[in-house]
Structure 1
Amino acid sequence: MGQNNHRQALPVSAPRAFASDGDGLVTGGPCGAGGKPGKPGQGGGRSRAGDLQMGAGWALQGRKEAGLGLGTPGIRLGVLLDIQQHFGVKDRGAGLLQSVFICSFMVAAPIFGYLGDRFNRKVILSCGIFFWSAVTFSSSFIPQQYFWLLVLSRGLVGIGEASYSTIAPTIIGDLFTKNTRTLMLSVFYFAIPLGSGLGYITGSSVKQAAGDWHWALRVSPVLGMITGTLILILVPATKRGHADQLGDQLKARTSWLRDMKALIRNRSYVFSSLATSAVSFATGALGMWIPLYLHRAQVVQKTAESCSSPPCGAKDSLIFGAITCFTGFLGVVTGAGATRWCRLRTQRADPLVCAVGMLGSAIFICLIFVAAKSSIVGAYARGWGWLFGPLTCPPLPQYVVIPTRRATAVALQSFTSHLLGDAGSPYLIGFISDLIRQSTKDSPLWEFLSLGYALMLCPFVVVLGGMFFLATALFFLSDRAKAEQQVNQLVMPPASVKV
């Protein structure tokens, strides 16, 4: 009956059969490293060189994120009070710095997402780092009378950061699968609070050592230039879909318009994007204003003096930076562990872990305001809780979006979350704070209370985010199944397999 008697087509679930070995590491295709056939669902032997490449690439990703986090936003927030005093701006002007940065970031993110799905990701990523480093270093020399230049530099920094924040997760997603992918992406996102926390600490420490807050902005650009060079030299140029063993089988990519339509129709993606917008709103506002809020609380308690000229005290930024680093570590470990444990009981574990973390953190945010007026230690302890919640959330687009759309998906989600989140929340909180102070007498007590009243908007937004994650859980399984089916449609008809 001919050769067809000895051959059959690959099943619909074939791409998942080649995903990984038991540890979630990419291992090969239907054949092992030596070219011998393997069973579906099992990985073949993996090469030592491949492991070294993945390890080197991941080490550089971690170093890059930690290094870049030192400059933006961590260091600037670590010297926020000094910037206000130096340029003579109020809360509204200080909030504008962060809002301009986020606005430029969210505009640039879709552009880099488009480029990342079609061109060399490693080169784009490195060029973005070089640009970011140059702008950050230059901004430390802006004269006192040119506050608008500082605002402009924040916008340019956002363009540089958009390059690596949209492209780097897709590279990592193509190196690992299953539980290992969740863990590695969690570690990647942990580098953001780690870098920000180190930024608070480094910015405050360098300022105190040099006696000038400008030097706090000259540390991380050096690390950025070094890291960008190392990424160009050492990080492997991984093919898109490599983790699913589709790197050589994918058909021509779909158009950008078709990608956008598919993402908008993906209900899990839409709800998770709205949820991350809530996360972004709260973390952007609280991350910027909480250290200043707690400093004002100490002024009211007469345990600290109000700063009238730089350099200002650095204790609050140091403590908040340490809390950010510590909770970042615990959040990654707990989030990955909780997701792994919940997956044994439900396939909707990923969005449910996010929802529980968000709803729990809302309680701790409220407790910060309760404790701040009487106990700074208590407020810091509760601040640990609110930071911990969002960090337990594993990334979701990697599971419900096909490989050739992932960079676009990450970029669009970044755009949405920043547009609805921290693009306006720092400025909005500062605006509300100034608005309240206009109707009251000018005193340290009302500086403290007005900012606290403005920040009380955040826990309500966080609860809304938790509800969006619960909505994501309703559609997560069906959308993941659709993504797997679409992957099969994008795969070129494979050579038939002997059975």
Structure 2
Amino acid sequence: MMSVEKNAPPQISFRRALFTVFLYIYLSFVDFMDQFIFIGLLPIIKKEFQVATITIGVITIVFICTRAILAPFFGCASDRYNRKKVICIGLFFYSLFAFGCTYIPKQGFWIFLLARLAVSAMAESCLTPVPSLIADLFGPEKRTRILALYMCTKAVFCIIASCFGTPVINLAGLNWRNALRITPGFGLFGLLLAIIVMKEPERGGMEDDKNGDEGTKLNCSCYTNLKQLLKSCHFLTFTAGILCYAYVLGAKYFWVPRIIRQARKDVPIEVYCWTTDCSYDDNLIFGIIKCASDLIGIVIGTEISKRYQKKNPNVDALLCGIGLFFCAPFFVLFIFFVEINLPAAYVSTINLAHNIISRIYGTDLQHLTYNSNNVDCIFPHFDCSANNS
């Protein structure tokens, strides 16, 4: 049975709302840098724990699946409880597990892996509520541009995280445990900022149409929400589209650095090494290009959507379909370019292809926001800034 509960938190100033958005960007930066450093250190960690039978790919898949499975539960929790408390608790345990796992002895690899899974889960608990919080902090006329600002600035910070994480990985040859002890400090600083800056906004308080009920919050069970969502054709097709998009991005993250690494062996090119023995150069360059093209693609996609939304309400769906359609030929061109001219393959093909596909994420962010008059369920969080190692 659905009950209506009155809830009217104090209004939040525009300045505080912007500071809150930049706090979310900072949390994404910490999460990305932690992923970047951990994946880069995995070969060293495997060697110390003496677990050569487990591949890096399997470990990465386990982490991705963990975040994907837990995202709806954290979304459900943040939808029913105070989101500031959810984020603060997540940050505390994130820092605790991230720091504690560095003291696990060599005989406890599986305990170490479980601790890192807990770190990943706590990071997800902090990032899942972000789209709904942004929706409640800004009105419909500002929300699209704030979401674009969030994603663009997040992409810039991902580049900074990649550049900052590279020397950390290089210095980790002395002690990888010290390298993993950097991000817990950033996490505790984020917790302090969250306590000072964040305020819980009114759910659906920035919507134009509230049906006369100011500050209402709908409470219903997760089962009821899921039952209603599974009857929605829009939700099912949107989810299928997101899965296709995630599949394309995941395949690109997995295969592009490997193809380039193989091309370096087949076509010798003298390049300056940014990392120890050039071990992580391909991943670093690819990550920087990916984040830069995120910046361009999200701006283009958001502005096109904003300008033509009134003329064609289905512009988001059309833009997403066109973006995916044109990605295929550019990826095919990349396969041919990589054996002819590596810089051209990097700059033109990957950049342009990711530019197009980034528009999908820029426009789809609008669908992640919710109205308190609709089913109070948050869609799972898809992080476009995952490590590309």
**Match for residue 206 of structure 2 among 240, 243, 256:** 243
Find the residue that maps to 1:241 and give its secondary structure. Answer: coil
State the identity %. Answer: 24
Structure 1 counterpart SS, 2:129: helix
Alignment-derived partner of residue 121 in structure 1:
83
The residue that corresponds to 1:360 in the other structure is 326
- 1:217 to 1:312, Cα distance in 2 relative to 1, 3 A: farther
Q: Secondary structure at the match of 1:69?
A: helix
1:281: how far off? 2.1
Q: Residue 289 of structure 2 is aligned with which of 323, 344, 354? A: 323
The residue identity in structure 1 corresponding to 2:88 is S
Aligned pairs (5 A) from 1:240-389: 240-244=203-207, 246=210, 248-250=214-216, 252-303=218-269, 313-381=279-347, 382-389=349-356
Pair 1:148–1:288, CA change in 2 (3 A):
farther
1:205 corresponds to which of 167, 188, 193: 167
Distance change >3 Å, CA 300–CA 199, structure 1 → 2? farther
The aligned counterpart of 2:371 is: 402
Conserved 8 A contact 1:332-1:392: yes
CA shift at 1:147, angstroms?
4.8
Task: Give 1:62-141 correspondences, 5 Å limit.
Answer: 62-72=25-35, 74-79=36-41, 93-140=55-102
The AA in structure 1 aligned to 2:140 is K
- Which runs of 5 or more structure 2 residues have no equivalent in the other structure? 1-7
Kindly indicate whether residue 21 of structure 2 is the aligned counterpart of residue 51 of structure 1.
Answer: no
Indicate the structure (1 or 2) with the bigger Cα radius of gyration: 1
Relative distance call for 1:397 and 1:292 in structure 2 (3 A) is: same
Report the Cα distance in structure 2 between the residues aligned to 1:386 and 1:139, rounded to whole angstroms. Answer: 38
Q: For the structure 1 residues 289 and 152, does the alpha-carbon distance in structure 2 shift closer, same or farther, using more than 3 Å as the test? A: farther
CA contact under 8 A between 1:136 and 1:217: conserved in structure 2? yes
**TM-fit CA distance, 1:203:** 2.2
Partner of 1:496: none
- Preserved CA contact (<8 Å) 2:33 2:158: yes
CA contact (8 A) 1:241 1:403 kept: yes
> Residue 3 of structure 2 corresponds to which residue in structure 1?
none
SS in 2 for 1:244: coil
Q: Distance in 2 between matches of 1:212 and 1:304?
A: 28
**Mapping of residues 341-490 of structure 1, within 5 Å:** 341-381=307-347, 382-393=349-360, 394=363, 395-398=365-368, 401-403=370-372, 408-411=377-380, 414=381
Q: Which runs of 5+ in 1 are unaligned?
A: 1-27, 29-46, 431-499
Contact 1:200 1:321 in 2 (8 A): yes
- C-alpha RMSD over aligned residues: 3.6
Matched residues, number: 368
Contact conserved, 1:361 with 1:389, CA < 8 A, in 2? yes
* C-alpha contact 2:290 2:351 (8 A) present in aligned 1: yes
Partner of 2:125: 163
Task: Work out the CA distance in 1 between the residues paired with 2:336 and 2:141.
Answer: 39
Q: How many Å separate the matches in 2 of 1:268 and 1:314? A: 41
Measure the CA separation in 1 of the matches of 2:214 and 2:351: 46
AA partner of residue 392 (structure 1): R
TM-superposed CA distance for 1:124, in Å, is 0.3
State the Cα distance separating 1:396 from its structure 2 match.
4.2
Separation (CA, whole Å) in 2 of partners of 1:81 and 1:292: 16
Post-superposition CA distance 1:392-439 (Å, at most 9, x none): 12224346x53366762313xx4xx79xx999xx9xxx9xxxxxxxxx
C-alpha displacement of 1:66: 2.0
Q: Which residue of 2 aligns with 1:61?
A: 24
Q: Name the aligned partner's letter for residue 292 of structure 2.
A: F
Q: Is the partner of 1:243 in helix, strand or coil?
A: coil
User: Could you say if the C-alpha distance between residues 288 and 206 of structure 1 is closer, same or farther in structure 2, counting changes exceeding 3 Å?
Assistant: farther
Deviation, 1:67, is: 2.4
Question: Looking at both structures, which has the greater relative contact order when contacts are Cα pairs under 8 Å and sequence separation is at least 6?
Answer: 2
1:357 touches 1:390 (CA, 8 Å); kept in 2?
yes
Partners of 2:46 and 2:52 within 8 A in 1: yes
Output the CA distance in 1 between the equivalents of 2:331 and 2:52: 24
CA positional deviation for 1:171: 0.5
Give the superposition deviation at 1:122.
0.7
| Amino acid in the other structure paired with 1:286 | K
The AA in structure 1 aligned to 2:206 is A
Normalising by the residue count of structure 2, what TM-score does the alignment of the two structures yield? 0.81
CA distance in 2, matches of 1:287, 1:124: 31
1:7 aligned partner: none
TM-score (structure 1 length as normaliser): 0.64
Deviation at 1:230, TM superposition (A): 0.7
CA contact (8 A) 1:280 1:422 kept: no
Distance in structure 1 (CA, Å) of the matches to 2:343 and 2:309: 37
Change in CA separation of 1:297 and 1:196 when aligned onto 2, cut-off 3 Å: farther
Aligned partners of 1:422 and 1:195: how far apart in 2?
10
| Equivalent position SS for 2:196 | helix
Distance verdict in 2 for CA 1:58–1:118, change over 3 Å: same
Contact preservation (8 Å) 1:197, 1:321: yes
CA distance in 2, matches of 1:406, 1:379: 45
